[in-house]
Each structure stands twice: as structure tokens, then as C-alpha cells.
Amino acid sequence: MILVLNGPNLRRLGTREPDVYGAETFDDLAALCRDTGRELGHHVEVRQTDDESELVGWLHEAADGRIPVVLNPAAFTHYSYALRDAIAQRTAPLVEVHISNPAAREEFRHTSVVAGVATGTIAGFGLQSYVLALHAISEMNTTS
């Protein structure tokens, strides 16, 4: 199993700033992730929350279960040390993803407090960022 975890406002894909995030919906994202996982031979569970504590709880669940994670922390990327500390406890690969390229956006988005404890980061490829992350995790799981 691979968990695909999404932070605040991502359920609003398709209506939220389509010039930045595109016209595809959260349901489109979830289907893309599940289909990609199936093609790679993995069960993928996609979750979204606007609640920081719920996201931390899911990361603890992943650490306890040695479950790989694709994580779009959304706005929590830039300030959530609680999220960073939860990610630091990971026991399996965790890839940070972003639909847009934070480095090409507002200055406050240029810093990720979670990148230093993630396995890697993929950003700026739209929903394909998730596909790339799932491929990376799948590759890591077959070579480790």
C-alpha cells in the first residue's frame, strides 16, 4: 500500500485558482493516483484534510505501518514544524509533491520546512507530480 496524503484546500482543485492548479478536480487526482498505483502493482489510498492534527495522525499511522507516502502538505509546507517532526519519524519512503512550482511563486512559498526530512521532492508538473512520485516510490520499494 501507498498513502497519498493531501493538505488544506486540495479538495477544492478544479475551482481553486485554476490558472495555478488547473481545471482537474480532486476526484480526478484520486483516480489518477489509484490508476497509477494499480499499473505499478500497488494499492493506493488517497486522503485529504484541512486539519493539521489529522494529517500528523496519518503520518504516524504510516510510520507505524512502514507505509510509503506521497505527501502534498499544501500550505503546511511552509510553517508546520509539527508536520516536519511527524515526517522525521518515517520508516518508509516519503515524497513531497506540489502541483505548482513553489520556487516560482510568492516568496513565502520558497521555503519548505518538510523537504529536509522527505526522501525527495517533486514539484511543478501539475497532477503528473503525483505520478512521478508514485513511480519513484515504486522503484524504491523494488530496489530496497
The catalytic residues are 21, 98
Residue 144 among known ligand-binding residues: no
Contacts of residue 85, Cβ cutoff 8 Å, sequence gap at least 6: none
| 60 annotated among ligand-binding-site residues | no
64: annotated binding-site residue?
Answer: no
51 labelled binding-site residue: no
Backbone angles phi and psi of 13, in degrees to 5: -55, 145
* Beta partners for residue 70, in sequence order: 4, 95
Nearest by Cα to 95 from 130, 127, 125: 130
Angle between helices 128-143 and 26-40 in degrees, nearest 10: 30
- The answer to the question of whether 99 is labelled as a binding residue is yes
Residue 78 annotated as part of some ligand binding site: yes
Please count the residues of the chain.
144
Do residues 76 and 5 lie in contact, with contact meaning Cβ atoms separated by under 8 Å? no
Q: Which cell goes with 113?
A: 520546512
Binding residues: 72, 78, 85, 99-100, 109
Binding residues for substrate: 72, 78, 85, 99-100, 109
